[in-house]
Structure 1
Amino acid sequence: MIKSYTDHAANERTFLAWMRTGVAIIAFGFLIDRFDLFVMTMADAVGINPEHHAQLDKMSGAFGLSTGVWFILVGVAFIVAATIRFVRTRSLLKDEQIHTTGFAMEFALAIVLAVLIVVASIPLLVSAL
C-alpha cells in the first residue's frame, strides 16, 4: 500500500482536472480559429448582400486566427503548468515535512485567461454597438 494514498490520489485527480481544462481551452481555441469558415459558408448559403458579406469577411479575418492561436497557447501553458504542479506536489508528498502552499502559478494562469477572454470579447462588443 502506498503511504498517504489519499493525498496522492487527490493530487492525481487535480492533475487530471487541470489537463481537462487545458484540453478544453485548446478546443475552444480551435473553435474560434475555424468559426470564421462556418460563418462565411453560412453567409454564402444564405446569400446576404455584398456589403454585409464584406463586413463579415473583415471581422472573421486575422483577429479570429490570432485569438484562436492565443487560446491554444494558453491551453498548452495550462497543461505544462499542470504537469509541473503534479510533479512538485508528488515530491512534496513523499517528503514528510510540512510545506507551505503556493498559488502564484494558478493565479497567473487565471489572470492570463481572463485577459484573453476580455480581449476576445472586444470585437463582439464593438460590432454590437
Structure 2
Amino acid sequence: MSDLDDPRVLFAAERTMLAWNRTSVVLITFGFMVERANILMTVLAPEQSDPVGSAMTFWLGIAFILLGAFSAAYSSRQYLVVLRTLTPSEFPSGYRVTWGLMVNVVVAVLGMALAMVLAFGR
C-alpha cells in the first residue's frame, strides 16, 4: 500500500502501462511485417522462393504478434496490481483510470485475433 498520497504515483504507473502498450503495438506490427515479408520476396524473386524459409518467416511473424498481444495483456494485469495498492487520495477527483487499461486490453484481444486469422485463415 502506498503512503505517498501523491497522484504522480498513479500517473507514473499509467505512463509505464502506456509505454508497454506502444511496445505491444510495435511488436504486433513487426510480426505482421515479418509474416508478410515472404509474400513480397516471392513476388520480387519467385525463382528464389524457399518453402522452408516461407514457413519460418510465417511462424516467426506469428510469434512476434503473440508476444505483442501477451505484453499488452500482462502490462494491463500489472497496472491493475499497482492500482490496488494506491489509496483514494492518490486518485484525482473525476479522473478515470480505465481508459488506458481498456485500450491496452483491446490491443491484446486484437493482436490475438490477428494471430488467429493469419494462422488459421489460410
Band of TM-score, shorter chain? 0.5 to 0.7
Find the partner of 1:65 among 35, 58, 65.
58
Could you say which residue in structure 2 is the equivalent of 1:118?
none
Tell me the TM-score normalized by structure 2.
0.63
Structure 1 segments of 4+ aligned residues over 6 angstroms from their partners: none
Could you say which residue in structure 2 is the equivalent of 1:125?
none
| Percent of aligned pairs sharing the same letter | 28
Find the partner of 2:22 among 20, 23, 31.
20
Report the alpha carbon displacement of residue 91 of structure 1 after superposing the two structures with TM.
Answer: 1.0
Q: How many residues align?
A: 85
CA root-mean-square deviation: 1.9
Could you say which residue in structure 1 is the equivalent of 2:69?
76
User: Greater CA radius of gyration, 1 or 2?
Assistant: 1
Gaps of 5+ in 1: 45-49, 97-129
Could you say which residue in structure 1 is the equivalent of 2:44?
42
Could you say which residue in structure 2 is the equivalent of 1:7?
9
Report the alpha carbon displacement of residue 93 of structure 1 after superposing the two structures with TM.
Answer: 2.0
Find the partner of 2:82 among 73, 89, 98.
89
The letter for the 1-side match of 2:69 is V
